[in-house]
Structure 1
């Protein structure tokens, strides 16, 4: 972990890892070791971006075109609809996450609202999470815990409630469950817009969501070609440095900044950039740069972490041994600032098993 000044305990931090991927079995790709585990930490994924040289894209184009296109829905529902009829039975009670991430009944749901500001809700693996202000929490009468930083000036107290709807006790007629139903029918009554993603391989017929008139969205990649850049050396410092000191720290910070500018499609990294140095003095890191054409693919929508993981494995298997690429996964914004968790994986050139991983948490 890079060193940070004091007083940043609750601020986002960037953790950098330089490691070796090890053996990759296409039939059983890793899920618990880095860098594969990094993208599975997210509850929901909002954007996936892939950066690679143009000549490598031409080689991998067919594989990239065959990646499955995620489908999600936008639907308006009150909270009580989650606990009623076939929706509750098919999508929540029948889920079996312990057996397979694609088991029947596994769904992801995320409501509108800014986390830390508005009342917002999410559903993942049968666990319904409610982020509530103090008034809504007290009126609902369900048990939760304080949310956010305690005693932070300028913020109102908030609460988070987690309800595992797959517990055997979560049935109509049970006292605890009926209390939740009462809160949803009498306190948390406003219909909200949800993003809905079904992880099941086989669709439910008839779909319990159809009576609510969902609007389906298909995520297709946005392709940006002919992105001319000054590319710095991507290789980490070669001198033995078991403590990962200043040389590696400078390398990690400067390269992460360059990759961020590529993602932003900034003109500062273009070889034709002629900006006045009074306005910007940025230059790619290192003493030597290479003029390169890059391709960037972007998938944006309501994506499952499992899809991001599967796509990364497919890209890794299809990429030539000596090629480099960067794979970036971003979550949804949190709080007033809209900052989100994200990770960037760089497979190093001429070292097919080595990677650099940046995790902003």
Structure 2
């Protein structure tokens, strides 16, 4: 058979941006320019890692533990019909602002999500046809080995979304007669103060707090992490190599791989990896991790707090991973590296 190259249109790609953050107003932090826009473009976040030098952590560690907000989220079992009934519908969807994500494997199971009042249903063909809702095909068209799937988006904040309206009653009917299976949800209320009484309490949620976990000091061979600055004909190729090498090194630090350890002496027959660059310094790094059902707005606020409390000559990296909510189960991720000895310069890697 002929070995034709596979198409890369639907494969994950990494976009790299090198720039300056500009002025940072603590009262009105930016939201439309990078890297801040990349943070808010995520729908749901499951893990945030901060990588920073041990010396820097000794300075700001107490602030991270005491001043940074600890996100609170819940795990609860609900059928879809509970979202459009009673006080839950009125308080959380019509008036409030919540994030919800159901269990299930994207691209295989029926998976539901709710953000900014928009309920998104990822359905298999049978469920879609039985529900009678209007949607559109999802995923790669005509790909062999994949079953057809559909996605339905319902804006529950529209004025027409009221009981007694024909379109809304059709949705309620589908939830009561077709999509009836209760599923486990992750639930996050974005309002600063909780509702009293809480409509969620009747479903007996398990509340959880995402507290920061601090790693033991990681001994590393510290490379030069500043990008090349020579604007010659080879600059583009040099920056490509820099972006790939530093991203790989940061990924190994996240994994606490022994390959980046300053004492690593593995046989080169087993691993030929060396940190990027020609000169290294022995250093110790700290990794601070939050894991759970986190909101992009919380990540944005945490990143701004880090920028405000970190001296300009220091560096840190913020690594964020989303849930596997793509049509093929892929998840979005990005890494923001605040460069040392630079006035708010950054490098941003976006994988999507």
Please give the TM-score of this superposition, normalised by the length of structure 1: 0.94
**1:114 offset after TM fit, Å?**
1.0
Counterparts in 2 of 1:294 and 1:272: CA distance versus 1, 3 Å: same
The residue aligned with 2:242 is: 251
1:68 and 2:59 correspond: no
1:92 and 2:83 correspond: no
Query: Equivalent residue of 1:153, what SS?
Result: coil
The residue aligned with 1:102 is: none
Query: Equivalent residue of 1:276, what SS?
Result: coil
- Distance in 1 (CA, whole Å) between partners of 2:267 and 2:233 is 41
Q: Retained in 2: the 8 A contact 1:114–1:335?
A: no
Aligned residue among 192, 197, 201 for 1:210: 201
The residue aligned with 1:100 is: none
**1:329 offset after TM fit, Å?**
1.2
- Distance in 2 (CA, whole Å) between partners of 1:140 and 1:318 is 52
Cα RMSD (Å): 1.4
More moved, 10-19 vs 276-285 = 276-285
Query: Equivalent residue of 2:216, what SS?
Result: strand
- Distance in 2 (CA, whole Å) between partners of 1:271 and 1:323 is 21
1:193 and 2:194 correspond: no
How many positions carry a matched residue from both structures? 347
Aligned residue among 291, 310, 327 for 1:300: 291
Counterparts in 2 of 1:10 and 1:337: CA distance versus 1, 3 Å: closer
Counterparts in 2 of 1:238 and 1:227: CA distance versus 1, 3 Å: same
Q: Retained in 2: the 8 A contact 1:51–1:297?
A: yes
CA deviations on 1:157-212 (whole Å, 9 max, x unpaired) are 00000000000000000000000000000000000000000001121110000000
- Distance in 2 (CA, whole Å) between partners of 1:263 and 1:357 is 16
Q: Retained in 1: the 8 A contact 2:110–2:122?
A: yes
- Distance in 2 (CA, whole Å) between partners of 1:31 and 1:336 is 27
1:107 and 2:98 correspond: yes
Query: Equivalent residue of 1:209, what SS?
Result: helix
Aligned residue among 212, 216, 229 for 2:220: 229
**1:226 offset after TM fit, Å?**
1.3
Q: Retained in 1: the 8 A contact 2:107–2:329?
A: no
Q: Flag structure 2 segments of 5+ consecutive residues without an equivalent.
A: none
Q: Retained in 2: the 8 A contact 1:76–1:194?
A: yes
- Distance in 2 (CA, whole Å) between partners of 1:86 and 1:153 is 45
- Distance in 1 (CA, whole Å) between partners of 2:16 and 2:26 is 26
Query: Equivalent residue of 1:258, what SS?
Result: helix
Query: Equivalent residue of 1:296, what SS?
Result: strand
The residue aligned with 1:182 is: 173
More moved, 235-244 vs 48-57 = 235-244
Aligned ranges for residues 44-55 of structure 1 at < 5 Å?
44-55=44-55
CA deviations on 1:69-94 (whole Å, 9 max, x unpaired) are 00000000000000100000000111
Aligned residue among 304, 311, 317 for 2:308: 317
The residue aligned with 2:24 is: 24
Query: Equivalent residue of 1:116, what SS?
Result: coil
Aligned residue among 267, 275, 288 for 2:266: 275
Counterparts in 2 of 1:318 and 1:122: CA distance versus 1, 3 Å: same
- Distance in 2 (CA, whole Å) between partners of 1:154 and 1:241 is 47
CA deviations on 1:95-139 (whole Å, 9 max, x unpaired) are xxxxxxxxxx10000000011111000000000000000000000
Please give the TM-score of this superposition, normalised by the length of structure 2: 0.96
